[in-house]
Chain A
Amino acid sequence: MEAQLQALKTEALEKIAAAANVKELNDVRVAYLGKKGPITDLLKSMGKLPAEERPKMGALVNVVREEVTTTLEERMVILEEEAINIKLQSETIDITLPGRPVRTGNPHPLTRVIEEIEDLFISMGYEIAEGPEVEKDYYNFEALNLPKGHPARDMQDSFYITEDILLRTHTSPVQARTMEAKGGEPIKIICPGKVYRRDNDDATHSHQFTQIEGLVIGEDIRMSDLKGTLSVFAKKMFGNDREIRLRPSFFPFTEPSVEMDISCFKCGGTGCNVCKKTGWIEILGAGMVHPNVLEMAGYDSKRLTGFAFGMGPERIAMLKYGVEDIRHFYTNDVRFLSQFQRTEV
């Protein structure tokens, strides 16, 4: 019986070594270690042995079974690995093929510019104020120190709907409305929106465009506060090494009035085509709120002062992104719009 066992072991180990794949090995397992296999048979036939031989023989069978099992499992690991390798090889893909596209849209470039400005000022404690695009002459002009017949009304030829109603020519009426609504309280707002002027559309003019304005009113607001605020704005929008300069200008609703230039972000001030060789780029208009404007809205201009500034997102987008024709913003060519997808930071 012992010899029989040894022969069985040798035979089993040979079969294990010869198994070429997992399935063949599993067949070997069933054949030798299964419930109907020869080892089990041997164990079953132990009953025929004399009682004193049984423990010895039992141990021997177990040793053989153990050895066969271990060898088989070791062989199984190798065969499984081989099987996986074959499977993996067959599953290799061409990783240079394009990925499944994820559709993404993006904001209009003007929205992008406007929200960037909004967010900067929100971080400095400003609120966003909005107002109607069809506006009363009163808020668009009169409340801003532009009475009927004022020569400066020529600066902005307007689309009138009736004698007293027009499409707003700037976002400043939102300032006038906010002041009126706040009834003499301090204000810190940014007003973005669409505006309209009687211009023929060409590369640099559009009868519809956008503006974004800011207004701060409080006790002892000084012109230096305006300068500091604009300087922060310029650095945020156009880079930390931007310098600003103020030039005297005129707006009926501010006194003093200024225009702000920034040092050219392309050449740094040495002169290039972006700054037309001057080293400076005109960005916005600003000034200290005219006392007439404050008084019209019910503010005591002796006690409260303020500053205001306004700019054109189109101009900023044109400068920042090198857009040469303002009409691109309103044509909605997908090849134009989809370029404003990626981040700049």
Chain B
Amino acid sequence: MLVSIKWLKEYVNTQELDPAELGEKITRSGIEVDAVIDRSHGMTNVVVGYVESCEKHPEADKLSICQVNVGEDGIQQIICGAPNIAAGQKVIVARPGAKLPGGIKIKKAKLRGEVSNGMICSLQELGIEGKLVPKAYAEGIYVLPENAEIGSDVVTNFDLDDTVLELGLTPNRADAMSMLGVAYEVGAILSEEVKLPEATYTEAAETAESMLTLNIDAPEANPLYVAKVIRNIEVKESPMWLQQRLMAAGVRPHNNVVDVTNFVLMEYGQPLHAFDYDSLKTGNITVRHAKQDEMITTLDDAERKLSPHHLVITNGKEPVALAGVMGGANSEVSDSTTTIVIESAYFASGSIRQTSKDHGLRSDASSRYEKGVDPNRVIPAAERAASLIAELAGGEVLAGSVIFDELEREEKIVKVRPDFINTRLGMKIPFEDMLEILERLKFKTEAANNQLIISVPTRRQDIQIEEDVVEEIARLYGYDEIPATLPETEARPGGLTPYQAKRRIVRHFLEGAGLLQATTYSLTSEKSAKQFALTETDTTRLLMPMSEERSILRQSLLPHLLDSVTYNTARRIDSVALYETGAVFLKTDEELSNEEEHLAIAMTGLWLDNSWQGEKKPVDFFVLKGIVEGLAEKLGVELTFERGQMDDLHPGRTAFIILDGQRIGVIGQLHPTEQKERDLKTTVVLELNLAALLELAADPLLYTPVSRYPSITRDIALVLSKIVEAGTIEKVIRTAGGKLLKDVRVFDLYEGDKMEAGKKSVAFTLTYFDPEKTLTDEEVVAVHDKVLKALTEVGAELRS
């Protein structure tokens, strides 16, 4: 909502407050002023000129040489390039030395050899947005009315010495979508009275009803309809003051009839529409729901197909307007119109909202209907429009109105106790101060039995319950007056749940291990939604995605995380190690998806880069596996790794991660083809169902006494077939080693050319230990021999 302060002053005294000060007061009391716009833009030296003569420039087709009377300085030659310049016009002249918006300074100049003492201006050059300039002047200079005084200052004479407050309205404050509503708000803030506009005109003897019949077939959607008939009007350009009011309010002037309906819309917040009476043809207005597939061409020249939940105004036969949203082209007021019907109606918000939404059409009218207009302004607005049209278009207003009225418009009564207000606020506002604030708001209030009985004006539909009154009192009393206290609640410890606490542990562990936390989008494409997914389910698609790239809910984190890796490597950051935790969305039979919290890791480039000491270690499967093992240890869970395969992962370098027999994750190196596709070098990845890990309760932590007895180690090197996995051998060793075998560790792997083809050497360190006593050599030999025997049995050969 754009509020011209000059216009506002017609309804309320703003106490000569500076616009910025006024804006600040409005903001602090509840309506945010987003911007304070100076309409003059600091313009100087812009005057009314009279074009005495206008001739073609001999050297330039598009330029005219004009002799312009600028008042005191007499006739000046000005070169003008506008196509619509002509002798006999009153125009806007920027004199040499003039400052125009955008820092433009006007100087004497020569244009193709001809002197130009200034510039004849378009409205755009005065800082008015092109879309607000009347169509007739959109491509050229603006022509002032004939009575404009030559040499007079344009800024002060045509209301450009004005400031506009741009209000950022919240949906509850529909009342402030009108100048009067803003006037009431300012009146309440400044303790000033509001002056209502006048509607006075002489009625013709003939009645409106003699020319127009009215049928309302949808009273629930349209409980009040008022039509005024005005004849013998002359449709023409509006006077300057009206055009300026509209442009200040962000509305483009058209002609006097349309401009008046828009002016009153802005003034009262009540949408109006003017029909060309003759185009209606039937002398009838019928409001009904549209028929299925009925068509209408609206004023924006769009042809629209209707359905029964759209409300239309018809001439009894065919639609002439989309009710409350936009008029029809077939009944538009034109220059030749002589008789008009002014419609002022109350349409239910739901119906308008639906229509507006279905047609993607929002207008100044529909945006007000959607939020609910004041039922008590429907009739006054019609009268006000009739009065202005009679004045500006010279029309004759027929007696009375054609009216259908079933609208309830009682004032809402809200009862509230003063101590309720103070308890809610934690304040002690005196009773008299509350009464004074309600008086400023123009809420009729009775005080009885320690209770405020408030009649809320219908313009304030947002005031429904006690709490709404609490807010009204508080905001006008001043939120600065509220003290700062802390809630008195029962003493309970706050904190993280075990799950949340462990999530932080995971985060700290991974960051300690050198990974950066990333965050990517949950919405993805069909193609990426299931890549690396751990569970096979259908995808979840948005009804109306904004793009295919963001149309499906992801079922794994890795695709977007890998996108982030590529983003970095494409910028020459060769070593990237990222992790992300977040939900993936698995479709179920339930209404809602199963949201599973996952952890994903993606790493590429060097893991260790200490070049000058000759230490360089590229990431590989085992770097990532080590991180996962460390994490499992930190969380006190036992994970096992099982060889596996997954699309887009290296078939020989992929493992599933198993927890309690359940597959909860996958770890692997990207398949070379996928790597190439993603423009990556060797990249290892993890996708893990983190929730499964975090939901497990950890065992209580109990210390094991540190033994006084030493442990004994034995190293063995085994020659194995290449296809035998170290893990298999380790299991054999552990089984054979029994209780006394405390630990088994691989300390060497050799697959070089000293080995027989198809063989490799794996060396283990075995640690024997008895917590009760020092192991004797004999005891160690006994169990170690058992281990060696078991190894021989599985075909492992002891390397000498």
Contacts and interface: CB of A to CB of B under 8 A. Distances in A.
B714 to A, nearest CB: 33
B512 A104 contact: yes
A47 interface: no
Contacts of A333: 567-568, 571
A327 B514 CA distance: 24
B782 interface: no
A111 B517 contact: yes
B470 interface: yes
Contacts of A106: 511, 516-517
B38 to A, nearest CB: 15
B17 interface: no
Interface secondary structure of A, over-half rule: mixed
A248 B33 CA distance: 12
Nearest to B595: A132
A123 B350 contact: no
A258 B568 CA distance: 42
B100 to A, nearest CB: 25
Contacts of B370: 151
B171 interface: yes
B430 interface: no
A235 B790 CA distance: 68
A223 B475 CA distance: 12
B460 interface: no
B661 interface: no
A172 to B, nearest CB: 16
Interface stretch (B241-249, B541-549, B692-700, B770-778): B541-549
A149 interface: yes
Contacts of A291: 465, 467
Interface in A241-273: 245-250, 252, 255-259
Interface stretch (A33-41, A55-63, A76-84, A133-141): A133-141
A229 B517 contact: no
B66 interface: no
Interface secondary structure of B, over-half rule: mixed
The interface centre, meaning the residue of B28, B465, B510, B516 with most chain A CB atoms within 10 A of its CB, is B516
Nearest to A249: B170
B196 interface: no
Contacts of A127: 494-495, 497
Interface stretch (B197-205, B578-586, B668-676, B716-724): B578-586
B500 A250 contact: no
Contact of B591 (A105, A152, A165): A165
A307 B487 CA distance: 10
Interface stretch (A5-13, A21-29, A94-102): A94-102
B494 A125 contact: yes
A65 interface: no
Given A103-B513, A247-B30, A330-B520, A133 B474 contact: no
Given A125-B494, A332-B568, A249 B426 contact: no
A103 B577 CA distance: 10
A162 interface: yes
A330 B171 contact: no
A288 to B, nearest CB: 6
Nearest to B172: A250
A224 B540 contact: no
Interface in B159-185: 170-174
B592 interface: yes
Given A218-B489, A225-B486, A250-B172, A132 B511 contact: no
Interface in A204-231: 207-208, 216, 218, 220-225, 227-229, 231
B592 A337 contact: no
A69 interface: no
A239 interface: no
Interface string B457-495: 000000001011011001100011011111111111111
A110 B615 CA distance: 34
A16 to B, nearest CB: 44
B493 A125 contact: yes
Contacts of B465: 255, 291
Contacts of A248: 29-30, 471, 474-475, 479
B494 A123 contact: yes
A32 interface: no
A92 interface: no
Contacts of A218: 487-490
Contact of A125 (B425, B491, B543, B615): B491
Nearest to B507: A107
A90 interface: no
A290 B171 contact: no
B544 A257 contact: no
Interface string B594-635: 010000000000011110110100000000000000000000
Contacts of A334: 516, 568, 573, 576, 578
Given A104-B512, A332-B564, A337 B518 contact: yes
Nearest to A164: B591
Nearest to A305: B424
Contacts of A135: 592
B377 to A, nearest CB: 19
Interface of A: 97-98, 100-101, 103-108, 110-111, 115, 118, 121-128, 130, 132-136, 149, 151-152, 154-155, 159-162, 164-165, 167, 186, 188, 194, 196, 198, 200, 207-208, 216, 218, 220-225, 227-229, 231-232, 245-250, 252, 255-259, 288, 290-291, 305, 307, 329-335, 337-338
Interface of B: 27-30, 32, 170-174, 349-350, 353, 370-371, 423-427, 465, 467-468, 470-471, 474-475, 479-480, 482-497, 500, 504, 507, 510-523, 540-546, 550, 553, 561, 564, 567-568, 571, 573, 576-579, 582-583, 585, 591-593, 595, 607-610, 612-613, 615
25 contacts: A103-B514, A105-B514, A105-B516, A105-B517, A124-B486, A127-B494, A127-B497, A132-B592, A134-B540, A134-B553, A152-B172, A161-B540, A161-B553, A162-B543, A186-B490, A188-B494, A200-B546, A216-B489, A220-B423, A224-B426, A225-B487, A247-B27, A256-B474, A330-B519, A332-B520
Given A101-B608, A167-B542, A224-B425, 18 more contacts: A100-B613, A100-B615, A101-B609, A105-B517, A106-B517, A122-B494, A125-B489, A134-B553, A151-B174, A160-B544, A207-B550, A227-B479, A246-B482, A247-B27, A248-B30, A255-B465, A332-B561, A332-B578
